[in-house]
Amino acid sequence: MVLKKLAGILLIGVVLFTLEQSASAGALTFNETLSAQGGSVLPISLTRRLHLDSSAAVIVDQSTGNILYGKNMREECPIASITKLMTAMVTLDSKQPLDQKLVVTEADVDTLRHSMSRLPVGTVLSRREMLQLALMSSENRAASALSRNYPGGLPAFVNAMNRKARELGMWHSHFVEGTGLNDQDMSTPEDLAKMVNAAYHYALIRKITTTSTYRVNYAPHRYLNYLNSDVLVRRDPFPIGLSKTGFINEAGHCLVIQTRVYNHPVIMVFLNSWGEYTRVGDVIRARRWLEAIHWPHVMTTEG
């Protein structure tokens, strides 16, 4: 009986402390709150457990920066085409004209992995269209063209990517190019939550990444129809404010997403999932978990 009473007192103390910390977190920015936790998560739910198939993941309350769930969330790993979110932010930060025409050249052909592209060399599209295809459908040649046409070329673009990462407090991230095809484009789930939160504040990125289909006129009287690489965006089962997929062998299947649960914003990051639909399953499992614990009315973490 004594032990039960002590356990009860301890649990109440933990809950009160968490509530106090959560209230004061409102004065901090998303990144400050996320970083201040030092990789810690909110108190453990005693009734619900969340099991994800992704090797590394994090779920963050976007309104406070509080980490709701973490799994290897500070593990540095390749992030594949999630890189393109940084590519898009750096491109938009440059304030270059979105209607300026860019040409796909031989320099944009993937000689590292020989990945397929539907954009022939010589294709001329606007910077806005290149952004559309790079973000929505993970078109690598479009992302490469954006990187090359930055003031100062690709070296200056990569420097801007890493400078932006430091500005966002992404201390465990490093970029070497703008497509994500290179496995040296590295980050952590925790850092990517910061990147997703920053990208969410770009209206064009939100719009593009939540567009289901897009038709591009790539040559006179010739069109290409593109689909969003995230099946959840195409099926629209719940509110999605931002989404980006990624895959290379070294990174596995990756997905970052901003959504709402009980009309409350949340950011989810899933890295190195073994199957294309496993990452989608993790999103659904995470949403059901949050709904089951009636978040944000109670605060929980990984079981």
Sequential DSSP letters for 51-90 = --SSSEEEEEETTT--EEEEESTT--EE-GGGHHHHHHHH
In a 13 Å sphere around the CA of 173, the CA atoms on its Cβ side amount to: 30
Cα–Cα distance between 39 and 9 in angstroms, integer?
26
Cβ of 122: how many Cβ atoms within 10 Å?
Answer: 11
Whether a cis peptide bond, with omega within 30° of 0, leads into 220 is no
8 A C-beta contact, residue 146 and residue 131: yes
Find tokens 């999932």 and name the residue. 273
Is residue 286 classed as helix, strand or coil in its secondary structure?
helix
Find tokens 């309104």 and name the residue. 63
Contacts of residue 205, Cβ cutoff 8 Å, sequence gap at least 6: 85, 88, 89, 92, 135, 199, 242
Cα–Cα distance between 276 and 266 in angstroms, integer?
22
Name the helix (H) or strand (E) containing 127.
Answer: helix 127-136
Cα–Cα distance between 180 and 107 in angstroms, integer?
16
For the record, the structure tokens of 5 come out as 């009473």
Catalytic residues: 81, 84, 138
- Nearest 5°: the CA angle 241, 82, 110 is 135
